[in-house]
Structure 1
Amino acid sequence: MAIYPDLQEKTVLVTGGASGIGAALVQAFADQGSRVGFLDRDGRAGAELTEKLTAEARRVLFVPVDLRDIEGLRAGVEDVRTKLGPITVLVNNAAHDERHLTEEVTEDDFDDRIATNFKHQFFASQAVLPDMKAAGGSIICMSSISWMAGFGGMPVYTAAKSAVLGLVRSLARDFGPYEIRVNAISPGWIMTKRQLDLWLTPEADAMREERQALKRRLLPEDVAKLALFLASDDAGAITSQNYIIDGGWV
């Protein structure tokens, strides 16, 4: 990966950082010399990643948090701020693409999926604003190509992911005067362990290859490379944008 000297010693916060794309983000920022705090409800995976990175002499802090609990989220942000310093990079990564049918979604199901995939992005952004108003910063919000490609079988998830772009554009406008940049990344089918275990059948893989312009499988590290750029000073003139990283699917 490219090295961005300005990311060294910056405090970075990643939500949903214990596994999948989130773990690749934590690793990538830690490799830049950033101080990385990450929040996740999976305590075992968070502890394992922390042990691995600590052994590599990386400076990381794992805070177990269920991001649906907004008070817990705020406390987790404060913990990272207190122990690692003012947060000037936030990656709103946490999500869960659980499949669901419209006919079977209850009101509680709906609220839970919005909380899991969208609500915490707003409140995490709100929580880091005092630091970023003082020093500038970069907020990166994860969307998805699922709603652009018209995927079925998960309508509340796709609705939440489309809402991310409205949030990004509004926050970018409101906080641009403070040199706070806000952008979105919309991944395609990224081959995390979860995707490999649950969804990658030979038939699905053939469909992926047919739909993508690039024929290789996309990896979490591909997303991390883009996030590093958007967090760095090299992207200092970029805000209110959505970057699609799907190998040419949509």
Structure 2
Amino acid sequence: MTTAIATYPSLRDRVVLITGGGSGIGAAITRRLAEQHAKVAFIDIADGPSNDLVAELKDQGHTVHYEHCDLKDIEALRRSIGTIREALGPITILINNAAHDERHATPEVTPEYFDDRIAVNLRHQFFAAQAVLPDMQAAGGGSIVNFGSTSWMVGQGGMPIYTAAKSAILGLTRSLARDYGKFNIRVNAVAPGWIMTERQVSLWLTPESEKELMEHQCLKRKLVPDDMARVALFFASDESGACTNQQYVADGGWV
């Protein structure tokens, strides 16, 4: 399979914010946007891989900025976004990627755990968008890409709060798209299928689960983080200028 990737001139010098951009799908998006010569900032909680990624990309001559932040802390999120704005300029592309698909059984869920899972998987997407929308309005437009999941579409069990949060991202996307379209701000959602990040492979991939995956997907190969980065680039760029209020399923044809 070719590793060539499209070039999107509209991404050059744009200030992009990626949540959870230090590993997995987020790191792939960070790398690909840096290669497009965007000014890339990302927020993450894991310093080790995040600092390694910054060093790698700066060695290649790219502009990249990392902010350590626990996205459950909304005031810290707002401060991080303010620091990014001061360092790179107004943010006109937001990739709401961060999430955590921790398994949980319904009888064991407490109100506190419920709130924690919503905070990890949904709440920060709204508040990140809220923080950057004024930048986009002042600039005359922008793009928000919210990452959801196909887990709720395929009826996956074992993590009901995660799947509830991910389904809610579609409602968030459509509401923001309606409210901010008049400012030329586009809001779309991407729903990945099972993507072979290091975490997914180490925790969940077994011969049995791989067999199930190949039976359900139309494409008979494992999807990797870079597959999602390519989709994110398109929706971030002006090439998708007529696209908003949409959810794009990128799952190899399972749904």
TM-superposed deviation, 1:117: 0.1
Q: Does 1:128 align with 2:128?
A: no
Aligned to 1:70: 74
Pairing 1:149–2:154 present: yes
Instruction: Establish whether residue 185 from structure 1 lines up as the match of residue 165 from structure 2.
Output: no
Q: Partner residue of 1:46?
A: 50
Q: Secondary structure at the match of 1:90?
A: strand
Q: Partner letter of residue 212 of structure 1?
A: Q
The residue identity in structure 1 corresponding to 2:120 is T
| Deviation, structure 1 residue 106 | 0.8
- Separation of aligned partners in 2, 1:90 and 1:55: 24
Aligned to 1:37: 41
Q: Which amino acid aligns with 2:181?
A: G
RMSD, aligned CA = 0.5
Q: Helix, strand or coil for the counterpart of 1:138?
A: strand
The separation in 1 between residues aligned to 2:34 and 2:136, in whole angstroms, is 20
TM normalised by structure 2 equals: 0.97
Q: Which residue of 2 aligns with 1:8?
A: 12
In 1, Cα distance between equivalents of 2:116 and 2:20: 16
Tell me what 2:216 maps to.
211
Q: Residues 121-141 of structure 1: CA distance to partner in whole angstroms, max 9, x if unpaired?
A: 000000001100011100000
1:115 maps to 119
Name 1:198's counterpart in structure 2: 203
- Residue by residue over 1:172-222, the C-alpha shift from the partner in whole angstroms, topping out at 9 and shown as x without a partner, is 000000000000000000000001110111111111000101001101101
Structure 1: where are the runs of 5+ without partners? none
CA distance in 2, matches of 1:236, 1:144: 23
Distance 2:166 2:78 in 1: 22
Q: CA deviation at 1:5?
A: 0.5
Q: How big is each residue's C-alpha offset from its partner over 1:14-45, in whole Å with a ceiling of 9 and x where there is no partner? A: 00011000000100100000000000111111
- 2:90 counterpart of 1:86: yes
Correspondent of 1:105 among 102, 109, 122: 109
Shift of residue 49, structure 1, vs aligned partner: 0.8
For 1:245, the equivalent position in structure 2 comes to 250
Matches within 5 A, 1:210-229: 210-229=215-234
Identity, % of aligned positions? 58
- TM-score scaled by length of structure 1: 0.99
Distance in 1 between residues matched to 2:44 and 2:112, nearest whole Å: 22
2:102 aligned counterpart, secondary structure: coil
Structure 2 runs not aligned, ≥5 long: none
SS in 2 for 1:87: coil
Alignment-derived partner of residue 169 in structure 2 = 164
Could you tell me which residue of structure 2 aligns to residue 61 of structure 1?
A: 65
| Cα distance in 1, alignment partners of residues 40 and 82 from structure 2 | 14
Q: 2:112 and 2:45 mapped to 1: Cα distance?
A: 20
